[in-house]
Structure 1
Amino acid sequence: MKTFAAVALLSCLLAIKVEGQARAPSIRCLCAHKGVNMVPPKLIEKVDIIPPTPSCGNLEIVVTLKNGAEPKCLSPDSKFTQKHLIKALEKRTLQK
């Protein structure tokens, strides 16, 4: 009887330990691919800059378009993106 109780207790402790283990983090990036290099500036309505997070280690730049099309991911490495962001930041600092 003591052996059965010990095995039952050990099984319960093992089940609790296994159940409480952390899962591998899932990567949840909005931009599944590298992104496009350029979008016509006239079509850009809004730019969202999403910094790296624990769930997605990539810098993501998502633009919402005026024509109602699906949001596009811009490549952070493209010259267009860097130039556009610098202009937007300069414009923002001048408004303050």
Structure 2
Amino acid sequence: MSRRCELTGKGVQSGNLVSHSNRKTKTRFLPNLVNVTLASEALARSVRLRISAAALRSVEHRGGLDAFLVKAKSEELSQNARTLKREIEKKQAAPSA
């Protein structure tokens, strides 16, 4: 399980902690990842994802998981999120009978 957001691709960053005396110590800045269950209206089911807190706010702002995935770039998404995006696009493209 990598430390990477499945929706935005946000991952670990490295840098220095700088003390008052200007000593540098290498450190890792980890993303704030949370395990969430999001509902997909198009697929009529829930999906479990490991995403950053900022991505969760973006999903809510855009109007849900379906709207976020349709607008997102495929390069940033994880493999699991890409398959979800394809399924949602297929469902939305199919004529509702």
TM range (shorter): under 0.3
TM-score for the superposition, normalised by structure 2: 0.27
Task: Tell me which of the two structures has the higher relative contact order, counting C-alpha pairs closer than 8 angstroms and 6 or more residues apart.
Answer: 2
Return the index of the structure with the highest Cα Rg: 1
Give the structure with the higher percent strand.
Answer: 2
Taking structure 1 as the reference length, the TM-score comes to 0.27
